[in-house]
């Protein structure tokens, strides 16, 4: 003789919200689909932003020449035919900017160039770094 399994115990009606219906499952599926689409859109937006950056730089080193100047060496990678403007700064022990110089790096045969810049300083610096490098807009060509 076999016995039927006992039904699972049910909580009192209304205790944990309304009882689930077929529409509840469909709404849940639509909600998760919307979250998935939104997540995919954010990932695409981030990927496009990362790959769109054409100019990168890397600090290589610095040499403090005293209280009046600091040499900063860095590598900049850019399209070979482009010109970029890099803002190089010298910093004090409290991370205050004690010197700044903007330098343009023009077209070259290679994408990556190593550059050393002397930054004049108002007081003794303890480090030198590149703050930013941005593409320089090409001058307008006068079409006579």
- Cβ neighbourhood burial of 98 (10 Å; 0-12, 13-18, 19+): buried
CA 73 to the chain's CA centroid: 22
Whether the CB-CB separation of 129 and 71 falls below 8 Å is answered with: no
What pLDDT is stored for residue 17 in this prediction? 78
Contact residues for 29 (Cβ-Cβ < 8 A; gap 6+): none
Rounded-to-integer distance, Cα 55 and Cα 74, Å? 13
The Cα–Cα gap between 44 and 40 comes to: 6
- Copy the structure tokens of residue 120: 């004049």
The pTM assigned to this predicted structure is: 0.61
Alpha helical stretches, state H, 53-142: none
Per-residue pLDDT of the chain (144 residues; tens, 9 = 90+): 677 888 888 878 778 877 777 777 788 888 888 999 999 989 888 877 665 558 999 999 999 999 999 999 999 999 999 999 999 999 999 999 999 999 999 999 999 999 999 999 999 999 999 999 999 985 555 554
């Amino acid at each position: 003789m076999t016995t039927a399994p006992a039904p699972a115990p049910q909580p009192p009606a209304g205790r944990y919200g309304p009882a689930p219906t077929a529409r509840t499952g469909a709404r849940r599926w639509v909600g998760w689909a919307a979250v998935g689409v939104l997540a995919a859109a954010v990932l695409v937006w981030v990927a496009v932003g990362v790959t769109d950056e054409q100019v990168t730089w890397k600090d290589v080193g610095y040499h403090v020449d005293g209280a009046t100047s600091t040499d900063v060496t860095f590598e900049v990678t850019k399209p070979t035919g482009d010109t970029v403007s890099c803002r190089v700064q010298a910093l004090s022990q409290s991370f205050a900017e004690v010197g700044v110089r903007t330098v343009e790096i023009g077209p070259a045969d290679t994408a990556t160039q190593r550059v050393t810049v002397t930054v004049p300083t108002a007081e003794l610096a303890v480090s030198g770094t590149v703050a930013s490098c941005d593409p320089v807009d090409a001058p307008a060509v006068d079409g006579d």
